[in-house]
Amino acid sequence: MKPLIFSGSSNTHLANEIAKELNLHLGKVEIVRFADSECRVRIEEDVEGKDVFIIQSLADPVDEHLMELLLMGDAVKRGEARKIIAVLPYHGYARQDRVHRPGESLSAQVVAKIIESVGIDKLITVELHNETILGFFKIPVVHLSGLSIFHKAVRELKQEVVVITPDAGALKRSQRFAEGLDAPLALIEKKRDLNTPHKLMSMRVVGDVLDKIALIVDDVIVTGGTLVNAAYLLKEKGAKEVIAAATHADFVGGADKILKDSPVDKIWVTDTIKIPSEKYFSKLNVFPIAPTIADSMKKMVK
């Protein structure tokens, strides 16, 4: 029996691309926002006994998109689907993977629990900030790499590249990326001000970047602060070009403008998160993630 695919409102373009890869169409769903901002969803297909995928990126506005996902999951469960698989091309709250200061919540774990609470059976997601959050789920989670999509583009540069990890916490991801290319690795030590969101306190390069292409790999770009500061530092240390490759582009505020006018020469991202057309700029290259996600979905249906 063919599976059904529904999309929340956060990235319908990507959901359509995924459906096309699978030779399917998106199922009909009504998503209404009331004047007081409450959401109501209604699944307009018969889901009984079927395998159902719900695609939703938990990007800005994260809480709205999360709530839509939960309501859709509940509606599908009530329709007695055989299996419900949530596809989260971008998993919001994944960066709140530990308690940094006393009194904070363990937000990534809270989100895992509420996703499970509506009856989702399985999850597919891409490039988590930290794989340890997989342990917060009781249901199986398929964790896909978005960064490997950029390997081909790096090889096509045919130049000496040094992979830069933008902070110590991201070392494992950057190491894996560098190994896939047989390229050397350098590290930027980044300290954040935990009392002020998005504020960086200091950065330092460890490793040789002189006359090389410095390729910063990261999970997500939000304000652009991490990349821009890293790029200034790398150019100061003699890098001849700075390329930033990040799986998710959750451009908030003026991130697009900051990046456009920055020393970052090229920015490579995927389309896990919808980038509005006015936020495109010439340095930005968006790689399609749909084939990677669709491949993983194919393996789950008989």
Span from 113-121, 150-158, 204-212, 217-225 in contact with ligand R5P (CB under 6 A): 217-225
Non-local (6+) Cβ contacts of 234 within 8 A are 164, 188, 205, 209, 214, 216, 242, 263
Query: Is-contact 41 72, C-beta < 8 A?
Result: yes
Residues in contact with ligand R5P, total (CB under 6 A)?
A: 16
Non-local (6+) Cβ contacts of 178 within 8 A are 163, 184, 185
Question: Is residue 190 annotated as part of the catalytic site, yes or no?
Answer: yes
Span from 4-12, 15-23, 207-215, 218-226 in contact with ligand R5P (CB under 6 A): 218-226
Q: Given candidates 129, 212, 248, 274, which one binds ligand R5P under the rule CB under 6 A?
A: 129
Q: What is the token pair recorded at 34?
A: 């009331």
Residue with tokens 């090229």: 266
Per DSSP, 27 falls in state P
262 binds ligand R5P (CB under 6 A): no
Nearer to ligand R5P, 219 or 256 (CB): 219
Site for ligand R5P in 63-102 (CB under 6 A): 95
Cis preceding-peptide flag for 197 (omega within 30 of 0)? no
Catalytic residue among 2, 28, 190, 199: 190
Nearer to ligand R5P, 223 or 272 (CB): 223
Query: Is-contact 54 8, C-beta < 8 A?
Result: yes
225 binds ligand R5P (CB under 6 A): yes
Q: Given candidates 68, 97, 127, 218, which one binds ligand R5P under the rule CB under 6 A?
A: 218
Q: Which residues bind ligand R5P (CB under 6 A)?
A: 95, 129, 166-167, 169-170, 198, 218-226
